[in-house]
Amino acid sequence: MLNTLISVLWFLLIFSVVVVSHEFGHFIIARANGIHVVEFFVGFGPTIIHWTKGGTKYSIKLLPLGGACVFEGLDDVEDEEKKENGKEALPDNPDGKYGGSFLEANVWKRLAVTVAGPVFNIILGFIIAFIMVNLIVIREPVATSVTEGGAAQAAGLCDGDVIKSMNGQKICIYEDIILFNALYDGGDVELVYERDGENYETVLTPQYDETEGRYLIGIMNSSFVDLKGFDAIKYTWYEVRYNFKMTYGSLLMLIKGKVKSSDVAGPVGIAVNVVGKTYEETKEYGFSTVVVNMLNIALMLTINLGVLNMLPIPALDGGKLMFILFEIIRGKPVPRDKEALVNFIGVVFFIVLIVLVFFNDIKNIFF
């Protein structure tokens, strides 16, 4: 019971930091561009704590699974309904004291505010990755041991060879090889490797292992990086780059229908199957090991949120960005009612998706 509680607390901490960084991006850029932020809240459902400062209502809500940054001009109808029903209305903005309406801001300011959320997620990713790089042991993409009879040996690789690229994809850390292997779609792999300071090319065909249930290239790795000078910055970029590749790779697998329902996880699944299992497996090695692994999960989530939010889907930042770009090209905005209808459809879609993912999480955990 205690372990479950600790796992949930870790998840809430990670998720809250990722969401708050996203919404803070929208918030700070809106304020910098003279747009009135009416409300900044974390969570959903009934409000637990709230306070008002500088014309903005700050709220913490019951269900800590999200958040939003509400701009003036986007929720006027909802605010009027609150006033009519005697509920607490959002803060007033007398004579534009705290900024103007989002809809009345010029198109470039609205574009900056829209992309700020995902951009701040990426910035958070770099910060987390930099901390991680200075705490973890980084593996170089070296075949320290070539498996007897494996695909690598058949391709001519020897112990100590450094993998430089696979099918034209640059390999920077050993995790890049693992990811390539996980996304491997069959066929020969054009491989470039370094031996004694010289680059060589070969063709490698991963072999399917029935026991492992996946394709293997037949190398083992125990070559670690000793950080020096600016190495921390370089490997910070490598870690962020790896998470970008993992996110895009997972999206491609999802589009191609190669992702099983058991591989899809929502908040409940992440809390139990990712955070929970990670905590269980690492707690015996000490608090510092737990922290590093939680940072790794936070890095994965913030990059995922940043990338996914830029997809051109209604109700996401990417969907809003499409309307803004269309306005720039067209020279005038899309009619408000049409944009609202498209966003409403997007919201309905995501509500249905959230419900489906929730039940999928429950099925994967208990059945």
| pLDDT value for 264 | 60
Residue at token pair 């990755």: 129
The verdict on residue 154 lying in a domain is: yes
Do 154 and 185 lie in one domain? The reply is yes
DSSP sequence for 195-218: ETTEEEEEEE--EEETTTTEEE--
Do 340 and 203 lie in one domain? The reply is no
Do 153 and 269 lie in one domain? The reply is no
Do 39 and 124 lie in one domain? The reply is no
What domain range is 129 assigned to? 1-13+108-137+230-244+260-367
Reported as a pLDDT band with limits 50, 70 and 90, residue 73 is confident
The verdict on residue 203 lying in a domain is: yes
Do 118 and 152 lie in one domain? The reply is no
Residue 134, classed as helix, strand or coil, is: coil
311-335 burial code (b ≥16 CB/10 A, e <16):
eeebbbbbbbbbbbeebeeeeeeee
The verdict on residue 251 lying in a domain is: no
| pLDDT value for 79 | 46
pLDDT tens profile 34-60: 999 999 998 888 999 999 998 899 999
- Between the CA of residue 279 and those of 5, 283, 293, 361, what are the distances in Å? 11, 6, 8, 19
| Residue 251 phi, psi dihedral angles, 5° rounding | -65, -45
CB 121 within 8 A of CB 302: yes
**Number of domains into which the chain is organized:** 3
Of residues 154 and 359, the one with the higher pLDDT is 154
| Residue 213 phi, psi dihedral angles, 5° rounding | 75, 30
The verdict on residue 20 lying in a domain is: no
Least confident window among 101-110, 140-149, 273-282, 311-320: 273-282
Domain boundary among the residues 86, 104, 122 is at 104
The verdict on residue 189 lying in a domain is: yes
Do 94 and 151 lie in one domain? The reply is no
Residues 182-189: contacts with CB within 8 Å, 24+ apart?
Answer: 182/214, 182/249, 183/249, 183/252, 183/253, 184/215, 189/217
Do 240 and 339 lie in one domain? The reply is yes
Reported as a pLDDT band with limits 50, 70 and 90, residue 94 is confident
The verdict on residue 322 lying in a domain is: yes
Reported as a pLDDT band with limits 50, 70 and 90, residue 268 is low
Tokens for 29, please give them.
């850029």
The verdict on residue 202 lying in a domain is: yes
- Rounded (to 5) percent helix, strand, coil in the chain: 55, 20, 25
Per cent of the chain over pLDDT 70 is: 88
Of 138, 220, 148, give the one whose Cα is nearest residue 181: 220
The verdict on residue 29 lying in a domain is: no
**Pairing between β-strand 145-146 and β-strand 56-71 as defined by DSSP bridges:** unpaired
- The mean of the pLDDT values for the chain is 85
Do 179 and 272 lie in one domain? The reply is no
**Cβ-based burial of 246 (10 A; exposed 0-12, middle 13-18, buried ≥19):** buried
Beta bridge partners of 198: 195
Do 113 and 6 lie in one domain? The reply is yes
pLDDT at 87 over 60: no
Beta bridge partners of 71: 37
Do 270 and 363 lie in one domain? The reply is yes
Query: Taking every pair of C-alpha atoms in the chain, what is the biggest distance, in angstroms?
Result: 78
**For residue 179, what is the domain's CATH number?**
2.30.42.10
Do 126 and 145 lie in one domain? The reply is no
Do 291 and 364 lie in one domain? The reply is yes
